[in-house]
Amino acid sequence: MTDAIDPGEQPPEDATYRIRRDGPGRLAALRRAWHERKWMRRFGYLCMAGFAGIAAFWVFLAHDLPDANKLLEYQPPLPTMVRGMDGEIVYSYARERRVQLRFVDFPRPMVNAFLSAEDRTFWTHGGVDVGGLAGAVVDYVTKYGSGVRAKGGSTITQQVAKNILIGDEYSVTRKLKEMIVARRIEGVLTKQQILELYLNEIPLGRRSFGVQAASRAYFDKDVEDLSLSQSAFLAILPRAPEVYGRKKNEDRAIERRNWVLDQMVRNGWASAQDAAAAKAEPLGLVTQRTSTYEPSNGYFLEEVRRRLIGKYGEKAEDGPNSVYAGGLWVRTSLDPQMQVAVRDALRKGLLLYHGNRGFVRPIAHLSDLENWQSQLVVANKTIDYKDWRVGVILDASGSTGRIGFSDGNVSTLTGISDKAKVGDLVAAQPVGGSTWALRGIPEVSGGMIIEQPGSGRILAMQGGFDSGIDSFNRATQAERQPGSTIKPFVYATALQNGMTPATQVLDGTFCVFQGAGLGNKCFRNFGGAGGSGSHTLRWGLEQSRNLMTVRIANDVGMAKVTRTFHNMGIGDYQKYLSFALGAGETTVGRMINAYAALANNGVQFSGSVIDYVQDRNGKVIWRADKGTCNACNMAQWDGKPMPRIQRVGKQVMDAPTAYQTVHMLEGVVTRGTAERLRDLKLPMFGKTGTTNGPTDVWFMGGNQDYVGGVYIGYDTPRSLGGYAQGGRIAAPIFKDVVLATPGRWSHQPFVAPQGIRMVRIDRVTGKRVMGVEPTDEPKASVIWEAFKPDTEPRQYTAEDEFSRRRDALVASIRSARDVRDANAAAAAGDMGNFAEEQGGVY
């Protein structure tokens, strides 16, 4: 029950009633004042303009700011990781050091060190720390106009906004935008997600982005292995990485590190005892990281890089899967054991040819030695051979002087050659104490490849003495004349056009009429030798007879021969007979792929160094093997044998012809120009090559498992010397690879394709032999020969023996006459060398 109200009393006045009663009067008073007082109107206009300006400025700042939701799908630039055929990581293509970790992978002491140094209220603020911002404003005002950059006062969230979304422009406008975006980020991401982005993306010097990359760069450790002192050091780097990371500023770095440790104690994230122990530790920065990659892979990996760039681009703007930003995972065909064997064998061959020539020429030259160390670092010349190092000759007096290395060390250099000059980048080897001796790197070079015939996978590749000295890959980039290694494809063309391995071809003078006034231009065998009568195709290929080869090419037609070269991928040449002797240019890579097709019964796969490529999420976006397996995804096993992926290759030569060619090339190893490989006691086929000059020496060959190819020559072609031949210099290099990889080369003989008939023949005449079994003797008179159906020769008779002796006598007389005629023509000045004029080879 309420209290009664005395009628004589006035009820208390209601506030709402009073406002309503007095409102019109006050509003009217304001209107009168607005019209009568100018200062009030001016003040009002000023306030409205201020509010409008603030609103407009806010709209100006916020209208084009990036959407914080982009961070949910943010893809940081990541290096491409490369694996070998065994799945082990062998390299990474990176211009920046970046490694992405999850939040749970970051050690708690490291997280707390960064929060103590950069943002101790991170877990509680909403993106902007008001106290820190106020301090930054005061610092900016006091330093305005001085040219000194004020402290940022940015939270970790603001730094994420700056590093990923906005940029690092130094201005008040950028700072305001940063604050707006930071607030948005806090509404999109969790604190853990923000911190994960920050610790993975923060630039920390030494081309490192993120704490894992920096941990490797400064301490050669992973983050989980860092001490408290080392974690505190990394936490000081965001402020000035290029200052604190330098040896000369070590005292400043220690002072700042200790401050971080004190802050950790203050925040309760470290004990005083642990902080004191951490302060007592030196910085312990490493000057050079331990290399985790095998340097012998240099040429192979550079070839992989070139192919990836051609496919996906180099930089982020080239596409989402670029080599240096796409984060690709690449499985290659690199065989580490085979690669080391190829590198060592090629080096051995180059050094053997180089002999005792000593120092010949420098690796490079510095014209100005004022900043020699920096120039040496930028030159980035290294060598991975024994304990040799690359340095620059700083001064010289006679045969002694001083050499400087990229780490700044200077040592005594002995054995300085007259050909060496101050400023030369050279290789040197330690010989005791701080004394080094000048060493000579072979001027001659070359390239080598090992490939699997059944897949086209390149297992090993060496393009010179050392990729750290010269990245030019002579195995894939050097266009050279292949010499006699191209002859098997001339003989294969003959086999495809009616001839057999037992067909007799005249090894005699072969001249081409060049037109009125030019006379005849004649070919010669190796060393200028004339003919020796008629012989089988097999003998001509085994002994690499030029005269037989050009006669065969002429008989079947150079149009057909060059078509074979094209089909095998060797090259596109004009229809000159000299190209049948290897006058055209090609590469080791193209030649080895053609030989691989021979070993694979005419089926060719493109030479590949990459098996497949995955994007950063693991999806396969390219693979070399285009074969399909329709039964591989069955929901349930149907009880049949396991399905196999059928590799898709191109039949570039019919199988019987390819096998016949290989079978003849086995004779090159057994008793021909590559017989030094015979003691390997393996089923091998091969062919040597020596070009005019001789300027290049070659060997191509292998078995059904692996095919290898190598050439040796000067980069600017010149004579290797009269003694240089493919069988003497190139074949032993291949042999060293086989000896260094025992157990890798099968003892199984080559498998003949369907339709081949093995027939016993007389090796000299090519006639069929009955009742005599072939033996394993290299020069046995009776051998097994491969024939296509209905092409076998008839049986050998006494009449054939008489004809053979008669032909040999006639050939001997003809050879003597040829020599006499050639000498007379040379004296008269009307005889030229057609092969040489056309770039011919022997």
**Which residues participate in catalysis according to the annotation?**
118, 484
Task: Please list, in sequence order, all residues whose beta carbon lies within 8 angstroms of the beta carbon of residue 51, skipping any fewer than 6 positions away.
Answer: none
User: Among residues 94, 481, 495, which one has the least CA distance to residue 315?
Assistant: 94
Sheet holding 80-83, edge to edge: 89-93, 80-83, 329-332, 610-614, 620-623
User: Among residues 766, 798, 807, 762, which one has the least CA distance to residue 780?
Assistant: 762
DSSP string of 55-116, one letter each residue: HHHHHHHHTTPPPGGGGGG----BPEEEE-TTS-EEEEE-SSEE----GGGS-HHHHHHHHH
Contact, 210 vs 200, CB < 8 A? yes
Helices (H) and strands (E) in the chain, counts: 24, 26
Q: d(Cα 760, Cα 505) in Å, to the nearest integer?
A: 20
**Other beta carbons within 10 Å of 302:** 19
Q: d(Cα 121, Cα 106) in Å, to the nearest integer?
A: 19
Q: Is the dihedral of CA 46, 48, 49, 53 positive or negative?
A: positive
Q: How far is CA 13 from the centre of its chain?
A: 91
Q: Are strands 757-762 and 782-787 parallel, antiparallel or unpaired?
A: antiparallel
Q: d(Cα 383, Cα 362) in Å, to the nearest integer?
A: 13
User: Among residues 819, 601, 838, 834, which one has the least CA distance to residue 704?
Assistant: 601
Element (H, E) at 713: strand 707-713
Contact, 507 vs 545, CB < 8 A? yes
Q: d(Cα 466, Cα 666) in Å, to the nearest integer?
A: 33
In order of 504, 774, 775, 806, the CA distances from 793 in angstroms are 11, 17, 20, 20
Q: d(Cα 702, Cα 529) in Å, to the nearest integer?
A: 29
Can you state the angle between helices 108-118 and 228-236, rounded to 10 degrees?
Answer: 40
DSSP string of 462-478, one letter each residue: E-SS-TTT----TTTT-
HSE toward the beta carbon, residue 181, CA cutoff 13 A: 30
Which residues are bridge partners to 682 per DSSP?
A: none
Q: How far is CA 149 from the centre of its chain?
A: 43
Q: d(Cα 503, Cα 536) in Å, to the nearest integer?
A: 5
Contact, 458 vs 614, CB < 8 A? no
Which residues are bridge partners to 504 per DSSP?
A: 536
Contact, 451 vs 596, CB < 8 A? yes
Q: Which two tokens stand for residue 22?
A: 């007095």
> Interior CA angle at 386 toward 384 and 387, to 5°?
90
Tell me, letter by letter, the H, E, C secondary structure of 768-800: ECCCCCCCCCCCCCEEEEEECCCCCCCECCHHH
> Interior CA angle at 213 toward 211 and 214, to 5°?
60
At 438, phi and psi to the nearest 5? -65, 135
Task: Please list, in sequence order, all residues whose beta carbon lies within 8 angstroms of the beta carbon of residue 439, skipping any fewer than 6 positions away.
Answer: 359, 388, 426, 427, 428, 429
Element (H, E) at 622: strand 620-623
Q: How far is CA 64 from the centre of its chain?
A: 41
